[in-house]
Amino acid sequence: MTVLNDKVQRIGGNGQEAVGAVMVLGAGITGMQASLDLAESGFKVYLVESKAAIGGNMAQLDKTFPTGDCAMCILSPKLVECARNKNIEIITMADVESIEGQPGNFQVKVTRRPRFVDAKKCNACGDCVEACPVSLPNEFDRRLGTRKAISRLYPQAIPNVYGISKAVGRSPCKASCPAGVNAQGYVALIAAGKFKEAYELIRERAPLPAAGTRAKYFVISSSPAMIVPAVAADTGGASAQGRRDYN
């Protein structure tokens, strides 16, 4: 075994050179300690975690059995050590797709999901959280509380970078709107009392919203309770039987 350029090189039983790197799947307390031990032995370690931050389930605990010690007091030093160790590369929001090769020379394909935030520019100031009008159930707190659509997994999270939660695909309201207006963003801003921002959001895609749309009432019954209002794009005066248009 020889050490060359801070990497361990070994010759396997088949005469091929073994790669001096290790991939640890799962960045809980066990995966973190294993990564630290391997890094101290001179190995390059890729620490892969499917969540937005390392720490695992222990980060959600208050006390540990049987000593009753503070869980975060035990975990925090290891979080900092993993972040500062030059032999450890932390890969979060990632899933392993395939593993090929043989012992000493594996090739692993990893798919990494986006944060929608530039990790190199984010300094974790938290201003984005104050400005975000959208609240979501907090999965880290077992959905007992809420968090903003842009957030960290928990306050001591490593990497200390915010991320935006986005649903897959386009929202039904935006996809059906002829102008492509961000309706869910408009509703969230109105709910937060940010009326000026909501108006500006609508004007991004519809500069003249009052002129480009009109309310249409479809009478499907003689009963007043069965009159259904709808908002649609102006079609240039198209009419249908049983419909009244109001400008």
pLDDT in tens, 13-66: 455 565 689 999 999 999 999 999 999 998 999 999 999 999 999 999 999 999
Q: Which of the pair, 73 or 8, is modelled with greater confidence?
A: 73
Domain residue extents for the chain: 2-112, 127-164, 172-207, 213-247
Report yes or no: 18 and 105 within 8 Å, Cβ to Cβ. Answer: yes
Report yes or no: 87 and 43 within 8 Å, Cβ to Cβ. Answer: yes
What's the CATH number for 2-112? 3.50.50.60
Predicted pLDDT at 210: 67
Residue 209: strand, helix, or coil: helix
Predicted pLDDT at 7: 41
Average pLDDT along the chain: 81
Tokens encoding 29: 């307390």
pLDDT at 2 over 50: no
List CB contacts of 8: < 8 A, sequence separation 6 or more: 1, 2, 20, 41, 42, 43
Q: Where are the alpha helices (DSSP H) in the chain?
A: 29-40, 71-84, 127-131, 172-176, 183-191, 195-205, 209-212
Average pLDDT (203-218) is 65
Lowest mean pLDDT among 2-11, 37-46, 114-123, 170-179: 2-11
Residue 155 preceded by cis peptide, ω within 30? no
Structure confidence by residue, pLDDT tens digits, 146-203: 999 999 999 999 999 999 998 877 777 777 777 788 888 888 888 889 899 988 988 8
Cα 45–chain centre separation:
24
Tokens encoding 120: 């190199």
For the chain, the first-to-last Cα distance in angstroms comes to 82
pLDDT at 215 over 80: no
pLDDT at 91 over 70: yes
Predicted pLDDT at 18: 56
What percentage of the chain reaches a pLDDT higher than 70? Answer: 77
Predicted pLDDT at 246: 38
Reduce the secondary structure of 11-59 to three states and give it as a string: ECCCCCEECCEEEEECCCHHHHHHHHHHHHCCCEEEEECCCCCCCHHHH
d(C-alpha 240, C-alpha 247), whole Å: 16
Degrees to nearest 5, angle at CA 84 with 82 and 86? 95
| Band of residue 244 on the pLDDT scale cut at 50, 70, 90 | very low
